[in-house]
């Protein structure tokens, strides 16, 4: 078991934080965001992992920005680790990416649309890194237990599942908070994605829309229900973000939100919840 996994599972902390921009836009931007978020997380007493994608392989449009690619993206993430001193998370989309990405990333993330892909999940698990399974928009929470078992079948117990909303008609998602309860009762480390769960997939024509104003209320609700970790895409200039602009949370509002969430988590810890 890695020291990072132990820190994420530390019951003395309110929850852990996985946060950063949707996609790697530049080395300078990633360093700035990682330093800023790490400072906030440290003040809040939250274990923190920086997240950013080297390739967004499932963008709505062929013309959308995807990121710098594997080689350049991993170089950026390695610099973030070295200069900021934080662990990093990024997505993989194909089995061959698992090993090179694991040389840099501390957490390998399986995208929601790929959460049933056995070979991909097993390849990620065999690296020995922590695996974050994003729950597909089409998946019931109990069905994600099969994906969890695919990770554990390799002997790797370091696995978490992230709830990111369920398809509710065209161009819409809804968050079923029962999912958080079901996953935690099954003994799964459970994360709430406060930003992707408020996307409107394809809702802006050639890109996804979103409901940024609802991120804070739903994050508060998730912490009140009970989560182990919080996933958020955060940007200093959300409207100019190169990916998921509609649902990236403003950096200048992050400290206030996390402060609220920590207080909610502290109150919840004093209440007997079935």
pLDDT at 203: 62
Angle at 61 between CA 214 and CA 246, to 5 degrees: 20
The answer to whether residue 192 is domain-embedded is yes
> What pLDDT does residue 272 have?
65
Q: What is the pLDDT of residue 134?
A: 98
CATH code for the domain of 232: 3.20.20.70
The domain containing residue 14 runs over which residues? 3-268
Q: What is the pLDDT of residue 59?
A: 63
In a domain, 193, yes or no: yes
CA distance 69 to 54: 5
Given this model, what pLDDT does residue 207 score?
65
- Angstrom CA distances, 192 to 32, 43, 85, 202, 216, stand at 24, 21, 24, 22, 12
Q: What is the pLDDT of residue 274?
A: 53
pTM, entire model: 0.95
Does residue 225 sit within a domain? yes
Residue 127 forms part of a structural domain:
yes
Q: How many domains does the chain have?
A: 1
- 274 within some domain: no
Q: What is the pLDDT of residue 61?
A: 65
Q: Give residue-wise pLDDT tens across range 148-179.
A: 999 999 999 999 999 999 999 999 999 999 99
What pLDDT sits at residue 112?
97
User: Residues of the chain whose pLDDT is less than 70?
Assistant: 59-61, 203-207, 272-274
């Amino acid at each position: 078991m890695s020291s990072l996994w132990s820190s994420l599972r530390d019951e003395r902390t309110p929850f852990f934080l996985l946060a950063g921009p949707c996609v790697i836009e530049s080395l300078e931007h990633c360093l700035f965001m990682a330093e800023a978020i790490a400072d906030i997380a440290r003040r809040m007493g939250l274990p923190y992992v920086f997240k950013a994608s080297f390739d967004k392989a499932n963008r709505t449009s062929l013309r959308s920005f995807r990121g710098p690619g594997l080689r350049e993206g991993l170089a950026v993430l390695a610099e973030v680790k070295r200069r900021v001193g934080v662990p990093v998370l990024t997505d993989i989309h194909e089995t061959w990416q698992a090993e090179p990405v694991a040389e840099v990333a501390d957490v390998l993330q399986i995208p929601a649309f790929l959460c049933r892909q056995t070979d991909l999940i097993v390849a990620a698990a065999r690296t020995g890194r922590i695996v974050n399974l994003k729950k597909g928009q089409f998946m019931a929470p109990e069905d994600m237990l099969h994906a969890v078992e695919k990770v554990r079948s390799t002997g790797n117990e370091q696995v978490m599942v992230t709830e990111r909303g369920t398809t509710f008609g065209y161009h819409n998602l809804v968050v079923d908070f029962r999912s958080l309860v079901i996953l935690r009762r099954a003994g799964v480390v459970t994360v709430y994605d406060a930003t992707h769960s408020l996307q409107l997939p394809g809702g802006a024509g050639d890109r996804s829309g979103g409901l940024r104003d609802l991120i804070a209320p739903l994050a508060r609700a998730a912490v009140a229900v009970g989560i182990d970790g919080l996933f958020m895409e955060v940007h200093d200039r959300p409207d100019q973000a190169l990916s998921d602009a509609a649902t990236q949370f403003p950096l200048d509002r992050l400290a206030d939100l996390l402060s609220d969430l920590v207080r909610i988590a502290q109150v919840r810890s004093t209440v007997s919840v079935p």
